[in-house]
Amino acid sequence: MGDALLEVRDMHLALPAPGGPRSVLAGADLAVPRGAFTCVVGPSGCGKSTLLGVVAGLRRPDRGAVLLDGRDVTGTTGHAAWMAQDDLLLEWRTVLDNVALGLQVQGVRRREARARVRDLLDEFGLAGHVDARPSELSGGLRQRAALARTVAQGRELLLLDEPFGALDALTRLHLQRWLAATWAAHRWTVVMVTHDVREAVTLADEVVRLSGQPAQIAARYRVDEPHPRHPAGLGPATRRVEQDVLTGLGVLGAPDDAPVPVP
């Protein structure tokens, strides 16, 4: 616990709902070591995005704390690079200017910001689309651009909310494989929300499963297979973890002993 870059302690949050505030997070704890990849899975609508938003500082929790490198950053922003479920590329900026946005916000002049992120665009397979507008990109390229923009901020912690959630299955496989390799080369500290268990066990050192509403940590699963892994070539131990997570989510097993949670 001591060497964790990110610690989330006893997170509680209620959100307005028809008929009064409803508890969405009810005591979530996380500890993510520096350079580790953590995936958060859970039933749809259980509070995964909300949890990520609280860590990013978009919401202040009712109770609990977010610690970055031991420093209390609860309710503040600017300490983590967040990528929303929606890619949120700015239509009026080219790919290069979108990726340079974070540095500009940090006060780097546009010219220099553009120069500094150019290499990243090559690495993210966007070299041929530097001056394209987001509307001219395919879904896969849009996600790459949004990911590049997240990484380009130079933060130690990346928060990714279903980055591949809206992609077709084939593009998704490509990007999962690519991200696995790219991450293995850089070792950013990542917390990634996904509803794809295969994706989670391909990328993560630890998979955290949330219970249904209100969200609590239901289980943690370690994945020890060395990186980078291939989503279509996972080892038997990793496949077993995948089965365990799916069982925990109620997707595997007999329907009557493990009812599928209704979102």
Partner 1 sequence: MTRGPGRALPVVAGAAALLVLWQVVVAVGGIAPRLLPSPARVAQQAWAHREVLAAHAGATLTVTLVGFSVSVAVAGVLAVTLDRLPRLRAGVVPLLVASQTVPVLVVAPLLVLWFGFGLAPKVLVVTLVTFFPVALGLVEGFAAAGPGASALLATMGASRWQEFAYVRLPAAMPRFFTALRIGVTYAVVGAVVAEYAGAVHGLGTYMTMQRAAFRTDLVLAAVGVCAALTLTLYALTCLAERVVVPWARPRQVRHG
Binding mask 122-151 for ligand ADP (x = CB under 6 A): ------------------------------
Instruction: Tell me the C-alpha distance between 150 and 182, whole Å.
Output: 14
Residue 44 binds: one of Mg ion, partner 1, ligand ADP, none (C-beta under 5 to 8 A by kind): ligand ADP
Positions that interact with partner 1 (CB under 8 A) = 53, 56-58, 77-78, 80-82, 84, 86, 88, 90-92, 101-102, 104-106, 128-129, 133, 135-138, 140-141, 153
Q: Is 27 exposed, middle or buried (0-12, 13-18, 19+ CB in 10 A)?
A: middle
Query: How many positions of this chain bind Mg ion (CB under 5 A)?
Result: 1
Tokens of 52: 């990520």
In our burial notation (b when 16+ CB lie closer than 10 A, e otherwise), range 198-207 reads bbbbbbbbbb
Closest CB to partner 1 among residues 164, 221: 164
- Candidates 27, 33, 35, 45: give the one binding ligand ADP (CB under 6 A): 45
- Candidates 7, 41, 47, 100: give the one binding ligand ADP (CB under 6 A): 47
The Cβ-side half-sphere exposure at 153, using a 13 Å CA radius, reads 22
Least gap, CB of 134 to ligand ADP (angstroms): 23
Asked if 124 and 139 touch (Cβ cutoff 8 Å), the reply is: no
The C-alpha R_g of the chain, in whole angstroms, comes to 18
169 contacts: CB under 8 Å, gap ≥ 6: none
* 49 scored as a contact of Mg ion (CB under 5 A): yes
Which range, of 19-27, 44-52, 217-225, 237-245, touches Mg ion by CB under 5 A?
Answer: 44-52
- Candidates 6, 11, 24, 175: give the one binding ligand ADP (CB under 6 A): 24
- Residue 101 has a CB neighbour count (10 Å cut-off) of 18
- Candidates 6, 7, 50, 83: give the one binding ligand ADP (CB under 6 A): 50
* 49 scored as a contact of ligand ADP (CB under 6 A): yes
Name beta bridge partners: 23: 14
Residues of this chain that interact with Mg ion (CB under 5 A) are: 49
